[in-house]
Amino acid sequence: MTRLILFLLALGFLPQTPSLAPYVPTPEDVVDRILTLAQVKAGDVVYDLGCGDGRIPIAAAKRGARGVGVDIDPRRIEESNANAKAAGVERLVEFRLQDAMTVDVSPATVVTLYLLSSSNAKLRPILTRQLKPGARIVSHAFSMGSDWPAEKVDRFVTARGDEVTLYLWRTDGTPRK
Ligand SMILES: C[S@@+](CC[C@H](N)C(=O)[O-])C[C@H]1O[C@@H](n2cnc3c(N)ncnc32)[C@H](O)[C@@H]1O
């Protein structure tokens, strides 16, 4: 199915979904830090909007949570499914070929993002309208704008020597534009 979609995309038969960010995978040590910042544990439902190769939902599943990954690139969804199988967590994760802007995130207790500031701004009204109060949002590198300061900011140097900033917000049921 994914191969057919790839083929049709290549031929220009399917409409292109607007990209929210290019593919840049989060290093594994940063993935761990994201899940720790969000205090992911068994019982959580972790959505990664723009999931790349599925590493965040897969790492969440290794902590006993359920993971959902969404990406517009069929190659990423294929990789995600293969990686989940290799990690033995395929029953705890689900990967969908879908535009992040159209996802119903209401089942999520945690949403992770590694997109762009402009993409966070587009998703913010959807997230704050749909998520239950107390849900956590963690964004790698990009804030939600000065009018929604993060509850926590985690700045550190990765194993590779890069400086990284993670932002954590907790929803309170108030919709934000
Ligand atoms: C910077 S990567 C992050 C990958 C992964 N979340 C991680 O942290 O390793 C951004 C991902 O978002 C995906 N993406 C871009 N626009 C999207 C959209 N409209 N809907 C869903 N995914 C999208 C890209 O294909 C890419 O895999």
50 lines ligand 1 (CB under 6 A): yes
pLDDT tens for each residue of 75-104: 999 999 999 999 999 999 999 999 999 999
Q: Which two tokens stand for residue 148?
A: 């929604």
pLDDT at 138 over 80: yes
84: in domain: yes
Measured in angstroms, how far is the CA atom of residue 49 from the centroid of ligand 1?
Answer: 7
Measured in angstroms, how far is the CA atom of residue 127 from the centroid of ligand 1?
Answer: 16
125: in domain: yes
68 lines ligand 1 (CB under 6 A): no
6: in domain: no
On whether the CB atoms of residues 164 and 141 are closer than 8 A, the answer is: yes
54 Rama class: left (phi>0) / alpha (psi -120 to 50) / beta:
left
Listed in sequence order, the residues at least 6 apart from 66 whose beta carbon sits closer than 8 Å to its beta carbon are 44, 45, 46, 60, 92, 93, 94
What is the domain-level CATH number for residue 56? 3.40.50.150
167 lines ligand 1 (CB under 6 A): no
Whole-angstrom Cα distance, residue 27 to residue 11?
A: 33
9: in domain: no
Whole-angstrom Cα distance, residue 17 to residue 38?
A: 29
Query: Which residue's alpha carbon is at the smallest distance from atom 8 of ligand 1?
Result: 26
pLDDT tens for each residue of 11-38: 555 568 899 999 999 999 999 999 999 9
Residue 98 domain boundaries? 20-170
